Structure 1
């Protein structure tokens, strides 16, 4: 059994190649259990990358253990900002401040690249995540409303 102190140092790296993205599938599936397969995940991430999506991985021994998916956006209400689509840490690595490390990376990127803010959504009932975001200096400034258009899309299509 490896102790935490004996583990190699944590690295943050963007997953860009097919192999790097595929290595993130099991971690992302903890947040998005509706993902159908590793192959459809890869195809979807690659499509999203053409629209600015970046997948940042926290790696331990070159194995992803936490992820942050984010993108560059611009809106009249917010200006030029970073939107965090996904933030997840594997169940057996929670409590090690990995989400904090990933968000701090994104916050620093926002500062150095002159973005107006960092925005993300979380469920109304997700009190643990809400407390975490408050601790990270984020504020709840609105509610996210959704209209279901009745079109059923398969993930990965």
Structure 2
């Protein structure tokens, strides 16, 4: 009989956990080289963010980083900053499993909304399909200026 048990979603708390997530984070954020990655993650986690991951073979196959906040427009919200799956683990449902975990967490903690932004290019088509399947709606355009 085949084992269809999904690996557990874990929170990255220790330095070891954070390092397990490096390759998955760097797949989405290649500018976070090994030299800057640990400090960048420590700073991001210190700024009211949480990192969760699914482990396979001693490393994170998929990772998500989210922040908790409140503002006048959204009320209590959870914002998914990063969601990344290593190429060799894509198609196993890990990104969807992380989203489901985050949505359950947000409901349990009585958040009003969950948000995420996603870049628009051909490489993001599968990600957009996942977000729409999970019932996210396209509600705005996001504008930015690099300074």
Normalised by the length of structure 1, the TM-score is: 0.85
Does 1:111 pair with 2:114? no
* Distance in 2 separating the partners of 1:135 and 1:11: 22
Deviations 1:87-123 (A, max 9, x none): 0111011111101100000000111100011100001
Structure 2 gaps, min length 5:
none
Structure 1 gaps, min length 5:
150-157
Equivalent residue number for residue 18 of structure 1 = 15
Correspondent of 2:50 among 35, 50, 54: 54
1:9 Cα offset (Å): 5.2
Structure index of larger Rg: 1
Aligned residues: 144
Contact 1:27 1:65 in 2 (8 A): yes
Does 1:32 pair with 2:29? yes
- Find the residue that maps to 2:137 and give its secondary structure: coil
The structure-2 alpha-carbon separation of the partners of 1:103 and 1:119, relative to structure 1 and needing over 3 Å to count, comes to: same
Higher relative contact order (CA 8 A, sep 6+): 1
Query: Stretches of 4+ moved more than 2 A in 1?
Result: 5-9, 60-63, 124-128
1:20 Cα offset (Å): 1.0
Normalised by the length of structure 2, the TM-score is: 0.90
Contact 1:8 1:60 in 2 (8 A): no
